[in-house]
Structure 1
């Protein structure tokens, strides 16, 4: 049984979501703020966070959870549908659901994330790469050679792996890896992706691991 940490201060919504998730067999720990976060986070399998909360907002709580354990998937819930809010949420979280939503949609998204993060205990394969999710050792399946990355290349690829199959903007990637605001025209990210492709792609001139999504950003697709 998966344990879900749910933080929502609106009683009506909180009761409804908790009842729906419990009915589906999940163990739900419902809090109305992030004050007891450290006490609850130890054995959590997934966190669902509202953004507008008393005290620390959902963004701050989510970032704190990822610092404690980056392998806890996070779903942000919010009535705020602006692109800026979604981008901020997805810079660290794994999904973003806007209110109102159907409970079946939320449950489907929970199941997708639980399946994806279950793999973190094992090996995953992306193209010709085999990745040990415990050590993040990367092996070329065709040659059985280990691929060694530099510090920033490692951080960048790790960020992609945490957001498998998601299209990530340049802003998300830069802010997620360098922890600084992206400035339009800065070539740092592009240079690091080129170097990373030279390490992990069979043909860096025709990359298939790190896809370029024209006009938006990049994606690593499993």
Structure 2
């Protein structure tokens, strides 16, 4: 039975969601805030997290959880539905579902994330000729048998892509998550940094196989 840590301060929503999850054979430990959760996270399979919480807000709490448990999947379940909130949430979480929601959709998303995390090594991703040690934040070129060293923004970009493997990411989403500024159409900053990143990780930067350009939208790290 998979163990869900559920953090939600609304009693009605919390009781209803907990009941629906338990009816679908999940073990649920429900908290009204982020206090006292760390004794339980070691044995958790997934976290469902509200944003508007008493005390520490969900964004801050989620980042702290992800920093300490980088392989523990997090779903944000929030009434906050603006693009800015979603971008901020997806910077650290694995999925974002807005309220009101149908329990079957929540359960379907839980199952997708659990399959994804159970089917991959908890620490290592193999992407083309790269071996990525996620917990160590280390990238190894397996052909050249050497570590790849990235600059600050290249490093942030690469591991942002790692958290969103095979997902199409918009230029706005990437830029605003890494630079924490509003993206202005026509700004070449992201494009330049992607080019420099490709020069370090791609076999042929002019024909990239790892970070793909999705024309008119953004980029995708292809596994």
Q: TM-score, structure 2 length as denominator?
A: 0.82
CA RMSD of aligned residues (A): 2.6
Q: Deviations for 1:176-218, whole angstroms, at most 9, x for unmatched residues?
A: 445x435536644333211221222232112231122334332
CA distance in 2, matches of 1:49, 1:186: 34
Asked if 1:112 corresponds to 2:117, the answer is no
Query: How far, CA to CA, are the matches of 1:33 and 1:104 in structure 2?
Result: 24
Alignment partners' CA distance in 1, 2:194 and 2:222: 15
Contact 2:141 2:148 (8 Å CA) reproduced = no
Structure 1: segments with no counterpart, 5+ residues: none
Following superposition, the deviation at residue 163 of structure 1 comes to 1.4
Does residue 15 (structure 1) correspond to residue 15 (structure 2)? The answer is: yes
Number of corresponding residues: 220
Map of 1:38 onto structure 2 = 38
SS in 1 for 2:52: coil
Determine helix, strand or coil for the equivalent of 1:56. coil
DSSP 3-state at the match of 1:121? coil
Q: SS in structure 1 opposite 2:47? A: strand
Aligned match of 2:217: 216
CA distance in 2, matches of 1:156, 1:79: 28
What is residue 157 of structure 1 aligned with on the other side?
A: 158
TM-score by length of 1: 0.82
Distance 2:220 2:71 in 1: 19
SS of residue paired to 1:5? strand
